[in-house]
Every structure is written in structure tokens, then in C-alpha cells.
Chains A and B, each alone.
Chain A
């Protein structure tokens, strides 16, 4: 189909367009389809390869199958406490209340979780969760989830645009009207007209060199939303997962699931000391991720690290067969990539950039952003996790808010006539995309990416200072200048260097937003640790950092967090007293 606007581009029209086909995008698609919407889903990779496939440990849901005392109130309290009370309380409440139904639904669509002795869904312990709460399939829970959703979506007749990247949202008088993108395979451009759009594009880990994230995680959704006029929130809160692989170099950052600790894994430094006793004697290895990541970082920094600059994580005290059954992919990963048999000896692990708590600001009930017609769910959205996410709360987030976003987007589309597509916006998007082929400069996208990653690692990492963050902002400005000179050789046919040019634009935008927010927050809270402001500041505990675009300028402001109603406040207070 050609574009009625100017006949130039392939054009597709949908009620609801979803960008991203991980857990949130697929769940949104299923919900929108089941409410009668015509749905298209665009993804950068092949269907079924999105980041959800890598999730290992489980889905947090207070099913109370193993610990009968668990209920949504406890899950809510754990999530708020883990997020250091910066969470959107209503999102935390909805998430805790709805997660069990979302898990049961997966089972009814064919997912097969590990079982309890009486045939129910088995749940395991995880950091920051008061009870055994994570529904899982060994250490490949994400694969089970994405396959189940994918099969369901395909059966319902979802239109999938695979290996297609959206580079710009199109707007009509401030409301979304569609999206512009390119096919990776042949480099041709494509226009999508849509009444509503759901962003489900995931996180931003590729802005750091040591990361558990794949090439796709370049912050596209946040940058697209920002460009379209939406607000970003809590961008300073980037989760460094405590346990990534540290050796050999090629696998540095690769995730070692928290389930290793959930199943009884013990952390030690090079002197054999179980160092978590110093940092969180009560919860030890199952403390929250921010605490464990800082602990390992500190041990290494103070000279008690392992040969390759990490900590030892040991599960070999458990029977070998048990380890292979509960952690099969970890067993193979270490054996094949690091020559380590984890049933016989310890792994070497260290922090790795893993997850973005911040993102596009949304309404709790509908996942609506501040731009009419634009919704966001999953990692790209902010609010649920506050200053630090608990393990297992991401997969449940995808299901709960993916569903809500799909529902709201479908409802919105029913009320809405198709909007006009502005040819000027399309032409500008085309010019921007093609510029790297036309420039006579020699700025290599791979080198620019490496330079960005180095400053984010060195200056905007686990521990931050005002001086480092100022310096990072200056360097990001220089990198933005250099990005104007990016050039690429070869054709438009599946050209990863060219694709990286577009991804870099997103990464530079989110990196600047992270750095500006980190600089403003003069306290330490959750995943944001300031050496120059090492303590909580109660005033900052009631403020969210909000980023928005004014012309070409990125502006930052603070907005007070919403306070929960009294009965929930009591719940948090009680939990605080009991378990903080």
C-alpha cells in the first residue's frame, strides 16, 4: 500500500500500533485485539527475541502457593519499600493486586511453570520479597512467558512487522497520528497511521559498556516520547544488577540470575568473608539489588575483589543435580563460556547495568502518557518501581500494565477518528535517516558509541559525584556535536552501522536525561548513590524529577509525589516498622 499523503512510502493503518514485542507489547496487543481493535506490532528484532526472552528468575505475584501468609498488601509494601517510597503508589497497588490473575492467565494460555508438590505453581524466594513469591520455570521464565504470549497473539491474528525500527512518532496538533520507521532488511521506509500508539520498547542499558542488555536496548521509546512532547520521570534511577559475569572479557556483564541467591547462593570476597554480613546482616544475599551491587562494588574497590575484579558467588554446596535442575542455563553458561563448573566451585560476579526504573511518565490506570493517544508500558514507563526495582517485579509489570495499556489504547481508538499525517514530518524523518550516507565526514558510529559508553560507565555509574556528573554533561554535549557528523558506508540493505546511527540519537537523549536528573537529586536513594550526598533527604523523598523538551532544550523540574491514601500509608508504615 502506498501513502495517500504523497504516494512515496509503504503505509499501513491500524487502530492501535504497538512498538516493541516483548512481554508488555505482546500483552498489550492481546488485550487490544480482544477489545476489537485492529492491531499492528512493530519490533526491531524477530518475533520472540525481545529482551523478555532473557528474563530468568521469575514473575512476582502474591499467589500464596508456597507461603500461605502472602497477599497483595505484603507485595505492595515490599515494592514500595524496595523502591524507597518514590514509587507511584497506585501503580504499586494495581500491580500487586492484579499480578496473580495475570500469571493464572498465562497458565490458561499454555505456560507450564514449575510445580509444587500438590500441583500448583511453584514460587521461589527473591531479594526484597517477604515471602516466596516468584513463579518460575527453572531459570528460563522469560522464554516461557514470551513464547506463551507470542503464540496467543499469533493465534488471535496479530499483524507483526518484524525487524522494523521506528525512528519518529508523527503528531497532529499535539496528538499522535502515526509513526515513521525503516525495514532493517532493505532499508526502505514505512509509515504507520494509528489512532493510538503503545510504547513497549524496553530500557537503555546499551548506553553502558558493561550491561546485561542486548543491542536493542537503546532507549528508543523514551527518546521518541520525549521528542513527541511527553514527560520523562525518575531518569536517575538506573539499576545495576549485582551479579553479572566478569570474566572472560567477551561475556562481561552477562546476567547471572538472582535465582542463584534465591536458591541459596553465597557471596564471598577474596579472603573468603561472607561480606553481606556488613552491609545487610538481616537479609544477607537476598537484600535488594541496589544494596548488593554497592556491596560488591565496595569490596572490589577496597581491594578485596577476586582475580578479575568481582566477588565469588557460590552455589556448589547444593547437590549438583539440584543446581542443574533449578539453574540449568547458568550451569551451561559458565561451563561453556567461562570454563567454570558451578556445581563444583564459585562463579566470579560483579555489577552490570540491567534495568531502567525511570522512563516515560504515565497514568497508573491507563498507562497514558502526557501526549494524547500515546501510551507506555513495561520498562519504558516509569513509576511502579520508584528508586529501585525488586527482582521478579518486571515480568509482572509487563503483564499488568501491558494489559492496561492495550485496553486503554483500544478504548481510545474507538473514540477517535484517524488523524492527518503531516508530510513535512515524514520528509524531515527521511532526511534525518539518510543523512549519514550523504555526509563527507568520517565519524564512525561504533567509535562514538564506545565513547558514550565509557563516560556513562566512568561518570554516571553506581556511585556518582557532582563533579563527575558535570563533566559527563559536558562530554555528552560534545558527543551530540560529533553525532551531527556521523557517516556510514555501504548500502541501505541490512546495515548495522547505519542502524546504530539512529540508535545513538536515542542513547544520547536518554544519557543526557539520566545525567541531568542524577545531578539534580542531591541525596542517595535506591539505585542513585551520591558520594557527596550519601544519605536520604526526606524532602527529596517526596519529589520526582521530570524531564521535558522545550524547543531543542532539555528542561528539568521537580514535582511532588502523590501520597497514598491513609489505609495504604498505614500498610507501608507497618511494613516499615516490621521489616525495614
Chain B
């Protein structure tokens, strides 16, 4: 099998440039295998984040030939070999070193979301058809590729006003849990900035778990925000009865 050239970003927060590494292809090789080859034979200090190498942990995200991908699931034979394969770190997060980025912001956003709280008196009987939709959201492996491509974060850098698709998916999983007793609609509207999303579906396109982020999570959540804050009839009902509604 032929050799190919990897053009990999080498550097840190302050400076860096790409460097070329020629490696031999093997059958079925994925980009992460190629990076490991470089580590072993040419650059022992090449920083790459990875764990399971099976598409289950979401650690090895990078931008391969300009496309945000899990490197463990990107086959080398799906990429053209006649020119160097470019591998860059995710753009929306600060670089730590080489392909490793600082994703700690995501963990900070996550802390803002109130966890599952069961409704009092539930008997824990749940039908499969009532969990199918939530199970889709719970497939998320937190690779943060959706965060990386979302233009609100990538181009407009609104990390302080916006939660990003990953956390809309998490909130959707909680809000649509058949036994959950909290409402996180206020949080979506204010701190998580759901209104900033203009449903371009970039997140859905890159999701390795094929979660329908926009259609199944974001749009229904937007509808709940609208119902809660902008529906005049419901507002009147609440005003008269003095009740809170759980969306």
C-alpha cells in the first residue's frame, strides 16, 4: 500500500504551524491509527487526546481536511491520498498543544443545568415508546463536534451567552424525561441563550451518533420557550390561577 503525508498542527496556545509526516498505509487504517504511527516512529511528544478508539467516548475530535470528525472513525481510504491530509485541532476551543484543545468551558456550562428530579409519587413504570425519544439524546458521547461547528461559538465566540447544541441535547433529555418534575425553560431562554440558535443544522450534520439535534431537541425546546414566555393565553391562565406550568 502507498505512503501518505499527514499535515498536522504542531504548537500551543501562543504559536504553531503544521508539520508533514509521511506514513505507510495499512488496510482499514483510521486517522487515529495514523497519528499513533507518527507518535511511535516520528514525534513521541505529539499531543493527541483519545480513549476508546471505538467511537464510544468522544475524545479524539479534530478537523480532518477541514471537516470536524472523530479521528477513530475516519477511514484513511475515505480521504484523497494524492495530497497531504490536513489534521487540525477543533477551532472553537483554545489549543493546549497540537491536536489537544481546552474543552473545560463545556464542563462549566454543564454545571448550570439542574439534574433530573423525579416527580413525587412516581411508580417508575415507563413505557418504551415514552423513552425512545430521550434515549436518542442520551446517545451523546460528548465529542463536542457540534459545539465546534456551531457558528454562534465558532464565528461569533458567544461562549458566555450560549450553551451550544450539546447542552440543548442534554436539557432536551431532561425536559422530555417522562418522570422529570423540573422546568429548565427559563434557563434555556436566559443563561443558555437558546434564542441565538438560528437552526442552520450544522450541529446535526457532524454528529457521529446521528442525533437529530436541531429537529428533535432544539426546535421542540424553542417551542417550549415560546409557549412559556410568549403565548398570551397561557400567560393569562397563569396570571389568573397563579400556577407555574411544567412544559
Contact = CB atoms under 8 A, between A and B. Distances in A.
Given A54-B57, A144-B138, 16 more contacts: A46-B59, A51-B51, A107-B124, A112-B126, A115-B126, A115-B127, A119-B125, A185-B102, A215-B50, A248-B27, A329-B56, A336-B75, A337-B75, A445-B44, A446-B39, A495-B44
Contacts of B128: 114-115
B27 A119 contact: no
B115 interface: yes
Nearest to A154: B111
A488 B73 CA distance: 30
Interface in B55-99: 55-59, 73, 75, 96-98
Nearest to B118: A108
B52 A54 contact: yes
A53 B73 contact: no
A329 B57 CA distance: 12
A337 B30 contact: yes
A51 B52 CA distance: 7
Given A48-B142, A494-B98, A497-B39, A155 B115 contact: yes
Contact of B46 (A45, A109, A162, A496): A496
A406 B53 CA distance: 30
Interface of B: 12, 26-30, 33, 39-41, 44-59, 73, 75, 96-98, 100, 102-104, 107, 110-111, 114-116, 118, 124-128, 131, 134-135, 138-139, 141-142, 174, 177, 180
A488 B43 CA distance: 10
Contacts of A155: 114-115
A497 B45 contact: yes
A444 B40 CA distance: 9
A576 interface: no
B116 A185 contact: no
26 contacts: A48-B142, A49-B51, A49-B57, A51-B51, A54-B56, A54-B57, A110-B115, A119-B125, A120-B124, A154-B111, A185-B100, A214-B52, A215-B51, A249-B29, A251-B28, A254-B53, A333-B55, A336-B55, A336-B73, A336-B75, A446-B39, A488-B45, A493-B12, A494-B97, A496-B45, A497-B39
Contact of B45 (A45, A140, A151, A495): A495
5 closest pairs, A vs B, by CB?
Answer: A248-B28, A490-B45, A110-B116, A497-B44, A119-B125
A489 B56 contact: no
Contacts of B103: 46
Interface residues of A, number: 66
Nearest to B174: A110
B26 A249 contact: yes
Given A112-B177, A214-B52, A489 B57 contact: no
B38 to A, nearest CB: 11
Contact of A498 (B45, B118, B135, B139): B45
Looking at B39, B49, B56, B115, which has the most chain A CB atoms within 10 Å of its CB? B56
Contacts of A119: 125-127
A248 B26 contact: yes
Contacts of A110: 115-116, 174, 177, 180
Interface string A271-303: 000000000000000000000000000000000
Nearest to B107: A47
B26 to A, nearest CB: 5
Contacts of A160: 107
A495 B98 CA distance: 10
A491 B127 contact: no
B138 A249 contact: no
Contacts of B111: 154
Contacts of B48: 496
B55 A332 contact: yes
A249 B28 contact: yes
Nearest to A325: B132
Contacts of A339: 28
Interface in A142-165: 142-144, 147, 151-152, 154-155, 160, 162
A489 B134 contact: no
A481 interface: no
Contacts of A120: 124-125
A551 interface: no
Contacts of A140: 56, 139
Interface in A465-515: 488-491, 493-498
B62 to A, nearest CB: 14
